[in-house]
Amino acid sequence: MALDHYVVLAVIFEVFSFFHLYTFLKPVSRDNFKNLIIRSTVSGILLIFLFMYLFKTADETLLLFPQMKSSLISIPALIGLYISNRAILDVMKKGILREFYGLGSKKVLMVSGIYARTRHPMYFGWLLASYSLILALPRGLVLEFIVLVHIYVIILSKAEEKIMEHLFGEHYLEYKKKTPFMVPRMRM
């Protein structure tokens, strides 16, 4: 029954999101790098399982609109991946990748490059990329997945911002005032 698929997908996603968010709230350091590896591995396995279930059962759920048979469906994914990768490249150019992920000896706040246009470029890129999925597989279960991902990313972003406010205080609050939350500010 199709309703069962919606419930199972929600449960799998909740297990992933609670695990991922719980482990996210623990600070990363050189001492607990092993925890980061465990977190990444378990989260990756849960996501693989989630996608396998999604692709295996989506066809049994409601068709939302005719499926597109064009390479245009990849455009949101390509733009999203560009934005996410640009964020990482901006951090790498500054030579602060380890610190950015909390593995260095000092804490850093990235406010230049694409981070001057949005506080969460990687998350925005991932959300944008998810729209290719609904275009390629326009099913109710895929829509549920995308809604769950959006909710989770917003919760994760808000949790991350609380940590950043604690770490960087007034400097982060100023950055927060002038930089959009998720959707990048475009230059004219």
Q: Give the span between the Cα atoms of 169 and 162, in whole angstroms.
A: 10
For the chain, the domains span 2-178
Task: List phi, psi (to 5°) of 139.
Answer: -120, 155
- What percent of the chain lies above the pLDDT cut of 90? 55
Confirm whether pTM is higher than 0.75. yes
Q: How far apart are the first and last CA of the chain?
A: 50
Burial annotation 29-44 (CB, 10 A radius, 16+ → b, else e): eeeeeeebeebeeebe
Residues 25, 169, 21: CA angle, nearest 5 degrees: 15
Q: What is the pLDDT of residues 86-127, one digit of tens each?
A: 999 999 998 888 777 766 677 889 999 999 999 999 999 999
- State percent of the chain over pLDDT 70: 90
Question: Is residue 39's pLDDT more than 90?
Answer: no
Q: Which residues contact 104 (CB under 8 A, 6 or more apart)?
A: 96, 98
**Size (the chain), residues:** 188
The CATH number of domain 2-178 is 3.40.1350:
no
